[in-house]
Amino acid sequence: MNQTSTGPPESGPQRALSALTYAGILLNLGSLWSALRLIDILGKMPLPTARYEADLDIRRLSLRLNNETSPHDVEAPYRLRGIWAYMAWHCLTSLLLGTLCIVTQIAMLVWLYEALSVSLAITVLAIFVSAPMLLSFFV
């Protein structure tokens, strides 16, 4: 089925904006559902882990409260493995990429339709807002 449009044909930047819009929405929806499932399973965690905490020794307690605790140290006692580890990574990756799509879309929209001074101000703000998100890829 052919799609007909009554308006002028879209340019390349307008198509990129549309693609970023749809990608941002879908990625953030995926992140939302992963987060909701994780909240559901993690909310039930204290009851099952309470049964295993009875034989807790002081070394394991200090390991969890130490700043040098690795993700494996948390995953092992709480059984965050398999599909739940995948859900955690899916949630984080989808959230970061979806947010990056939205920030890029805002920057593109401003550069296409606003004055130079507004474009520069928004670009600086977008970089400032995105810094923690971009640093989380490397830290």
Q: Are 108 and 17 in contact (CB under 8 A)?
A: yes
pLDDT in tens, 3-50: 555 656 678 888 999 999 999 999 999 999 999 988 887 776 665 555
62 pLDDT higher than 50: no
Q: Which residues contact 10 (CB under 8 A, 6 or more apart)?
A: 18
Integer Rg of the chain from CA? 22
**What's the whole-model pTM score?**
0.63
Residue of 78, 42, 81, 77 whose CA lies nearest to 60: 77
Burial of residue 130, with CB atoms counted within 10 A of its CB: 0-12 exposed, 13-18 middle, 19 or more buried = middle
Q: Which residue has the higher pLDDT, 77 or 36?
A: 36
pLDDT in tens, 14-27: 899 999 999 999 99
